[in-house]
Structure 1
Amino acid sequence: MASQDHHDDDGTDDASATSAAAAAVNPSIEQVFKNIEVPPWRKQITFRSVFTSAVLSFVFNVVVCKLNLTTGVIPSLNVAAGLLGFGFVKFYTTLVQKWGMLKQPFTRQENTVIQTCVVASSGIAFSSGTASYMLAMSSRVAAQADVGNAPINVMKLELGWIYGFLFAVSFIGLFSIVPLRKMMIMKYKLTYPSGTATAFLINSFHTPKGAKLAVKQVRALFYSFGGSFFFAFFQWFFAAGDGCGFSSFPTFGLSAFKKRFYFDFSSVYVGAGMICPYMVNISLLVGAVLSWGIMWPLIEQKKGSWYSADLKPTSLHGIQGYRVFLGIATMLGDGLFHVVYMVVVTTASFLARKRSGPKDSSTVKPDEDDESSDSQLANYDEKRRREYFLKDQIPNSGAAVGYVVLAVLSMIVVPIIFQGRLKWYHILVAYLIAPVLAFCNAYGCGLTDWSLASNYGKIAILVFSSWVGLDHGGVVAGLAACGVMMNIVSTASDLMQDFKTGYLTLASPLTMFLSQVIGTAMGCLMTPAVFWFFYKAYPLGDPDGAYPAPYGLMYRGIALLGVEGFSSLPKNCLKLSIMCFFAAIALNILTEVLKHTEKKWRIYRFIPIPMCMAIPFYLGGYFAIDMCVGSLILFVWEWNKKQQAKVFGPAVASGLICGESLWSVPAAILALAGVNAPICMKFASASAA
């Protein structure tokens, strides 16, 4: 799944899956690279790799920030990171080699460093909460809530404390999981599907045939990037005011437009729809139809009975309250199910492995009569990977000391930042619990490719906001605790994914750790600056604006539930919320039951995903329509040229996403400079014409 609340659930995309499948046919990947020297860890992290990572990190921070501030649906950008990293450095090394000045060839280990840094940096753009829990503290979002907006429950957003908070909490998760790397990667051989697919993709780039294909993919990415950028530039000319431009085109008529059903010509979400699984996009559309097509019109008929007719449109005591809290209930139901399910799966798998003992591939004896047997080739790969994975070690004592030092630093800094709303002992409790949750998340991610970081964050909001109380700043305290918990749990699973990638590309684990640290530092530097750029240029959090930032109000709504209980909900909202909560759990149970019982029809693939259904409750269906158009394009492409679509589809989609997202930077500069578009293109009914 590809949404803000399931950041890593998008799993492997088609191109990665193709590479993984190809590798499975020929398991002896390392024999291809047998005669290529593996550089020591100091030479795997180079100036050119760090510089390339910094450039791409800025691009991806802008992309993720825009996606967070619009709908919160974030597709996997790993392929784009790997492709662009390969393309940039390959171009540079080819050029330098022609001049006879190339000192070090471009290796798959260096490619892995770039991909790790970029993904770690863009991961901070997600876990920083600039579009969710951090924005929820601001007066802009608090003004929409009617309750809980006293000064003690509002935090003025300033770059200084945002930087301080991120640097205080973003690195500690890296130290929490380091001691378990051998157990998870070598002893229990967890799959980590995204990390594995990324490794196979990078390995394929650095074979002669793979390099030629990668160059073609990079070219396709840049073509779609250019088209997306210039189309966004073209659209800007017609958007001189609110409700102007192509983004307000009433595709299905004005009545449908008022219920937020229209195609808004956003190449970002067309591209996202090409990357996300079909069922994600269909679930978004189903959620939009159920909410804006059925539920909200029925509830609006109760205006004056269920809620006051005099309330402002953004009030959580009116129709907006039903939109937000029913969405929250659905997300909490989905999140609770997956947390419990993951704990059960993790515990069962862990106990089973304990009883059966680890499967050590070094004890596998190849068939002596068959020198080309798959078992012997696989065993050769495994021995070579183990050799390099054990070569450069990170001391467990150093990881423990790092965790304690950073925890103490956070216990000092975070309470100062939030002016005593969150106490040092609250932070201590969070850091005592966090390693267990980080293990559960990293272990479960290795089994299923699901990261539940945002679900742990929502639980932290409820627990700590209730603990502190409304009169003592419980709203801000709960949201800050969410940030503390999310950063630990998210970075821990990301690091273990990177260890798996490095294991399969022979990148040193020390290199992977340092790459993650460098990428995290880049994210901590870039994310607040990029967010601040948008924050000053646009009215973020406005439900009718270009950047509604839906998770800002939703996360604040969860905090209000924690401090006020259900008394803050409008009439009958609790009953409807309970129904949505249990409906989400029921859909998940039905999916898992069908997945493990019926084999022939695989009906479970057609059951909507509750988390995705909940996102349009607040926003409407326009972006879901965009994403379904992306799915349709990919479907037709695969129907005609399946292999071409699998190879080039993710690259084209990534270009569409990056192009329009990067246009946001010059658009924001123009907005800050007071430069408006010259034309307003609007649509009206015939009677008003």
Structure 2
Amino acid sequence: MLLIAAAFAAPALLQPLGGVRWWHLLVAAAAAPFAALANTRAAGATDISAAPAFFAAALVAFAAWGGAGGGVGVGLVAAGLLLGVAQSAAEMGFSFAAGYTTLASPTAVFVAHVVGCVAGALFAPFAYALLSPALPPSPLAAPARAVAALFAQGGARALPAYAGWMGLAALVVGLVLASVRQVISSRARVMVPMPVVMGVIFLAGANVAVGVAFGAALRIAWRWRHPRSADAYAALVGGALIAGDGVWGVGRALLASFGVAAPICMSFAPAPSAVP
């Protein structure tokens, strides 16, 4: 709530953007608890925060609402508000999970987050106003502003072809799956996918989706054959595989530096440099 209240100072801090009105922030503040709840649920089920997705959705919606007369400022402020609230909620969930693992007091974890929110709400606007003239622009600022300008000018027409219908279909599928999981038995529930996990995997990218699916299949097979060892060591093996995937980055860089051609549908080439 303190983060939401502090966001109402944004019009004064972001006067060059213009167009931000109190009702824009009121609607964004009303949507923020729902974004926080949904993101906490997603982060709890997958350990991946979907806050950037709420940022993108709010950026598009509020920029189109603000229109050509100030949609850029409206979209950036509202999207930043939802991003901060959703990410803070997910971080609190991560902290509670870590506290549970380390036997820390839940009250102490909650108090620490409250203190952090108070400090951030009070001092972050002043720190921004003081330091922003001396700091380089964020690498995400220009793309976000460009997207906001695009939708402020074109509204919903700026969406790619069939994007709206695909989003609506995903919403309907998610609601149906969530409703089905609530009414069936716990034994049958394992056969129905969780819509929140499906959504986060779509955000994470195809490489993560393939890895998660392959790992889940291996764990199911392992638990079917050796349930005791699977329950005891599955998390350890998963962590080791994640670490190994990070180490593979070194091998990938070496193969790319020596010009080794990939034998199958992968690439060892370095990432393309950013266009100035």
Closer, same or farther in 2 for the Cα pair 1:556/1:488, shift >3 Å?
same
Shift in CA distance, 611/498, structure 1 to aligned 2, threshold 3 Å: closer
Q: Give the match for residue 469 of structure 1.
A: 67
Residue 116 of structure 2 corresponds to: 517
| Match in the other structure for 2:213 | 628
- The residue aligned with 2:83 is 486
Cα distance change, pair 556–584 in 1 and its aligned pair in 2 (3 A): farther
Q: Tell which structure's C-alpha radius of gyration is larger.
A: 1
- In terms of fraction of residues, the more helix-rich structure is 2
The residue that corresponds to 1:599 in the other structure is 185
Contact 2:51/2:83, CA 8 A, preserved across alignment:
yes
| SS across alignment from 1:602 | helix
Structure 1 gaps, min length 5 = 1-172, 177-402, 525-531, 541-551, 685-689
* Cα distance in 2 between the residues matched to 1:517 and 1:594: 39
Compute the displacement of 1:649 (Å): 1.8
For residues 110 and 79 of structure 2, what CA distance do their matches in structure 1 show? 27
Distance 1:602 1:648, change over 3 A: same
Q: 1:667 to 1:466 in 2, by over 3 A?
A: farther
Q: In structure 2, list runs of 5 or more residues that go unmatched.
A: 125-135, 265-276
Percent identical across equivalent pairs? Answer: 17
**Alpha-carbon separation, structure 1, partners of 2:38 and 2:213:** 30
Q: Which residue of structure 1 lines up, in the alignment, with residue 199 of structure 2?
A: 611
- Aligned partner of 1:333 in structure 2 is none
Q: 1:507 corresponds to which residue?
A: 105
The DSSP-based 3-state class of the residue aligned with 1:605 is coil
Contact 2:28 2:82 survives alignment (8 Å): yes
Q: What is the alpha-carbon distance in structure 1 between the residues aligned to residue 62 and residue 168 of structure 2?
A: 24
Rounded to whole Å, the distance in 2 between the matches of 1:568 and 1:439 is 28
Output the CA distance in 1 between the equivalents of 2:220 and 2:24. 45
Matching of residues 356-367 of structure 1 within 5 Å: none
Indicate yes or no: 2:258 matched with 1:678. Answer: yes
Equivalent AA in structure 2 for residue 649 of structure 1: A
CA distance in 2, matches of 1:662, 1:630: 18
Q: Which residue of 2 aligns with 1:583?
A: 169
In structure 1, which of residues 551, 555, 564 is the aligned counterpart of residue 154 of structure 2?
564
The residue type equivalent to 1:679 in the other structure is G
Change (3 A) 1:434 1:651: farther
User: Relative to 1, partners in 2 of residues 1:607 and 1:558: Cα closer, same or farther, differing over 3 Å?
Assistant: farther
Looking at structure 2, the residues matched to 493 and 613 of structure 1 have their Cα atoms a distance apart, in angstroms, of: 17
Summarize the Cα distance change of 1:604–1:580 in structure 2 as closer, same or farther, 3 Å threshold: farther
Deviation at 1:465, TM superposition (A): 0.7
CA offset at residue 409 of structure 1? 5.8
Q: Counterparts in 2 of 1:414-433, with a 5 A limit?
A: 415=14, 420-421=16-17, 425-426=20-21, 428-429=22-23, 432-433=26-27
Q: Which residue number in structure 2 is paired with residue 68 of structure 1?
A: none
Q: Equivalences for 1:265-284 in 2 at 5 Å?
A: none
- 1:645/1:513 CA distance change after superposition, 3 Å: same
Matched, 1:642 2:222: no
Residues 539-596 of structure 1 show CA distances to partners (whole Å, capped at 9, x for unaligned) of x9xxxxxxxxxxx79x9768744541344456xx24xx45423432332343234334
Partner SS, residue 509 of structure 1: helix
Name the count of aligned residue pairs: 237
| TM-score normalised according to structure 2 size | 0.57
Instruction: Using the TM superposition, give the Cα deviation of residue 491 of structure 1 relative to its aligned residue in structure 2, in angstroms.
Output: 0.9
Mapped contact 1:503–1:509 kept (Cα < 8 A): no
Equivalent runs, 1:175-190 vs 2, <5 Å: 175-176=2-3
Deviation at residue 653 of structure 1 after TM alignment = 1.8
CA spacing shift, 1:605–1:561, aligned 2, 3 Å: farther
TM-superposed deviation, 1:466: 1.9
Q: Is the 8 A contact 1:460 1:481 kept in 2?
A: yes
The one-letter code matched in structure 1 to 2:260 is C
